[in-house]
Amino acid sequence: MKIDKKTKIAVLCGGKSSEREISLRSGKNCFNALESLGYNSILVDIKTIEDLLDLKHKNIEVAFLVTHGKFGEDGTIQGILEWLQIPYTGSSVLGSALSMDKWLTKQIAQNNKIDTPNSYLLTRNNKNTSYIKDAWEELSKKSKAVFLKPRDEGSSVNTFKIKSLSELEEKISKIDLTVSDYLIEEYISGREITVSILEVEKQFKVLPILELKPKADFYDYHAKYTKGMTEFILPANLDKDSEVKIGNISKTIFSLIGCSSFGRVDYIVDEKNIPYLLEVNSLPGMTDTSDLPAQAACAEIKYNEVVEMVLKTARLHNISKDSYVTQTF
């Protein structure tokens, strides 16, 4: 759609997920950027479905999404906006739902010969001593550790590095599997890197790859959103062949899942230089400490320019017309 300075834009943030505070910070930054560029925008803290329905009464023409986590990044808000016929930034309902689901993302990756750490899916139906022991014995063979993480949370919320079977059993006993399934995932020692993607004229542009060196044991919530807790190596110390390979894998998985607009793909690169896909983020953070803005700056793209580029991708989604969704790179 044609978007100009008269188009009425709502920056949607907040929500009710565990990532609410990060979303509010992202939203404020994006709103300030649009204002400074002269766009007709408002900032909306989404707390209830009525806040979404009210967008129609306010004659909102475009929704700029920085809603992280459940309900904001998993296709829920996207589905309501489709129903309201309000074009929005970020991925489609399907792309958002699939990328939020770490287990399904892994299945898609494995089916397309993309390396990803091995894992077991933990549900309330298979939460038993035998299953947990089998998972530990299989997944901890190499590194004597595993990760325990929610199937559908972002920002490493409720993610734990586990170093013994007894610790794994204890952690599992305290989680509520009626709220979310969990993944017990193989721990792979290596360098943490992330690839940010911007859609430009229906083509995916890979920004300079970022290597992350957290001061914590891994890149957890605190390390992600606290200044000084993570060292950024930008661009990452990768040879050209690895850089191209990881960029192509990122565009491929982004496309296979059906993502668009902008996003981020996270990896662990092991000692043999093999990248293992961890997850895909369809609405990455846009805070002062977030990865994508830093990577854009490395490519000499200013924050305000990134926001405007994302804004220009706003649309209602029709899978049959979005040919790039199924395109491989």
- Give yes or no for a contact between 114 and 248, defined as CB atoms under 8 angstroms apart: no
Does 128 qualify as catalytic in the annotation? no
Cα four-point dihedral sign 58, 64, 70, 76: positive
DSSP-derived letter for residue 45 is E
Of the residues 92, 155, 156, 290, which is catalytic?
155
Q: Which of 281, 290, 291, 303 is catalytic?
A: 281
Q: Does residue 170 have an active-site annotation?
A: no
Gyration radius (Cα) of the chain, Å = 19
Known catalytic residue at 169: no
- Tell me if residue 91 is catalytic: no
Question: Tokens 């607009």 map to which residue?
Answer: 261
Q: Is 154 annotated in the active site?
A: no
281 counts as catalytic: yes
**Active-site choice (15, 19, 91, 153):** 19
CA distances in angstroms from 54 to 75, 201, 266, listed in the order given = 19, 31, 35
Q: Give me the catalytic one of 225, 267, 276, 303.
A: 225
C-alpha closest to that of 207 among 216, 198, 215? 198
Task: Report residue 106 as tokens.
Answer: 């892994």
Task: Indicate if 155 belongs to the active site.
Answer: yes
Catalytic position from the list 74, 185, 279, 291: 279
Q: Which one of 264, 282, 290, 303 is the catalytic residue?
A: 264
* Residue spans of alpha helices (H) in 15-142: 20-36, 49-57, 76-84, 93-100, 102-111, 129-139
225 is catalytic: yes
Query: Which residues are annotated as catalytic?
Result: 19, 155, 225, 264, 266, 279, 281, 285
